[in-house]
Amino acid sequence: MKSMSARDAKNHFGEFLDASQREPVVITKNGRPVGIMISIEDALDTVLPEMIIDRESGYDAWLFEKVAGTIKRVETGETEHIEHSEAVKRVRERLKARFSERTA
């Protein structure tokens, strides 16, 4: 993983952006890591898109209700438990589809 000082990132912004397209770039200040720049493609494989989506009023209550309902259905046997790797795969697919719709 490439590392670049905040000053170098500022003074060579074009190179900084180019580097972040190839691999994550750690930004340092006074020799300590303070941030990271990743490409949009790399961000799609994380939860970042979900974190920056504007949420409508009532979203948190809706999400809590959905999670509580799912837990209840799993406990009562109404639905099956999905292994972590499969759940992550499904979430990534949904995020990629959502991001594709927003950029189209």
pLDDT digits (tens, 9 = 90+) for 46-74: 776 676 666 778 888 888 899 899 889 88
Which CATH superfamily hosts domain 2-38? YefM-like domain (3.40.1620.10)
Residue written as token pair 């490439």: 2
Q: Are 34 and 6 in contact (CB under 8 A)?
A: yes
- pLDDT exceeds 90 at position 82: no
Domain extents in the chain: 2-38, 48-103
Average pLDDT rounded to a whole number, residues 92-100: 85
Average pLDDT rounded to a whole number, residues 75-95: 87
Strands (E), 1-104: 2-5, 25-29, 32-37
